[in-house]
Structure 1
């Protein structure tokens, strides 16, 4: 019998429904087991490897894993509160700064990467590339990193302390940051001689609201 190939995502589709339902395929059973053992730091780092912002997602994720939970198939039972457990790991962890990737002193052949926007996409790219020795330059028009996590989620849902902690884990990886700088020309960025450019500005679409007076004011309203 051949050994199980856990590198094949189809394995989790067949065996671990909650892990397959998670877009990041976070190993849910493993980190729940670590929480049950009181190993909150280990559970947090296991989450951090795949979903980058465990404390944030533990408060804001829409939990696609939970409808897939097998416990919901039992009569009069409910799924495991997987998202809440992610928050438990984040809230009860200790100081994990010593367990974050070490940034090499020598950059990877002096390769320079421009990251446009400082939201979750660009921060994730920086987290993955900085430990490999790439010089990452983060360019963001707002004064702080976080993107829509900072501007669109109210603080009663996502406390600023939690947001700052997890964003700062990445910013402290030796990134060059250019906050308060709006990119108005991609050509100007390319002219700076970067070896690669990641555009992480998002693709937001405005939503219309059918309110009284909306149609009368149509000439003065723009839905982006």
Structure 2
């Protein structure tokens, strides 16, 4: 089974600095495309950092001009760019969104359905969203706490997803348990799992980094050694999945 080359961008967010974070996203998307990736996945709330107390003032609309460089790089480099942001919500508190800028110049919006305990003080639950189409392969998105709900991954598999792409903030203390969940979903559903985690402190959390990809047997293909900024690139050919970490 072959699959499009994919990448996970492990970033260290500049707190509340959307312009600086967009610039790093563009640079990493370009590097991912140069490595042959057709999809690059960023962590949860990657464009602002995980900052619930700032979410209301930082909330973006899909048409925000500050997102234009992401649209441009996706179109120019022919790569789907999945970035995390607080999304303005006319009904109240912002949503936690994964915004996918497509090679065709479009924007796909996914909103986090299952919030982590305590997040309801700053965010409203979202409604999810359809799977992405990456070179004819269905890619299901997940945002952080959603991976703790087995029915979320099961629904993705039942919908025909060929990759489960999770944008997360996983702490040092929580990494072992969350990685075991993702590895288990990969093996149970015969569905590779890609995880993009933060590489540094954000919102008072010490993120573990260690972004990773597990293949459809649940075997670890590639993972970052720890924190810091890096890019994981993985591809699947007739032999199977292989990957590497790009600093």
- What TM-score do the two structures reach when normalised by structure 2? 0.25
Instruction: Select the structure of larger CA radius of gyration.
Output: 1
Question: Could you say which structure has the higher helix fraction?
Answer: 1
Q: Which protein, 1 or 2, shows the higher relative CO under an 8 Å CA cutoff with sep ≥ 6?
A: 2
- What TM-score do the two structures reach when normalised by structure 1? 0.26
